[in-house]
Amino acid sequence: FVVPFGHAHCVRVGAELTVVTWGAMVERCEQAARLSGVDTEVLDLRTLSPWDRAAVLVSVEKTHRCLIVHEDNLTAGFGAEIAATLAQEAFFSLDAPIERLAMPDIPSPHSPVLLEAAVPGVERITRAIRQIASV
């Protein structure tokens, strides 16, 4: 099994909103997209260096909305790089602000219970999808 570097995988096709994610958040985002009632496209970046800018841009230009979900801290997380790229290269395609959902800016908890509370869960992702779609 080989994952091609720099090629995102479209896990779920949609037309109203793009969710960009990777790693452990992919399954949660896919579940949230199903539960949200919003026609949501879910992109799994699979690799971050390099990352598939073209796939993200094409998807966002199609849906006109974007939510970036990751399990790192919000500040200085890789989601900020994706948001900056979209702001520079897809600004006029956006119908709503780019949103990011990540861990709060705290040290990463080692307790499984605390970690689960800090990392975006299906409920938080579902709420974010619905909120962005309503803009």
Residue 128 included in any domain: yes
**What CATH number did the domain enclosing 117 receive?**
3.40.50.920
| Range of the structural domain that residue 17 is part of | 9-133
Provide φ and ψ at 19, rounded to 5°: -110, 120
| List of residues 6+ apart from 126 with CB closer than 8 A | 32, 35, 36
Residue 2 included in any domain: no
Is 108 or 39 the better-scoring residue by pLDDT?
39
Residue 3 included in any domain: no
pLDDT grade for 1, boundaries at 50, 70 and 90: confident
Which tens digit of pLDDT belongs to each residue from 65-108?
999 999 999 999 999 999 999 999 999 999 999 999 999 999 98
What pLDDT is recorded for position 2?
87
Residue 21 included in any domain: yes
pTM comes to 0.96
Distance CA(123)–CA(129), nearest Å, equals 10
- Number of domains observed in the structure of the chain: 1
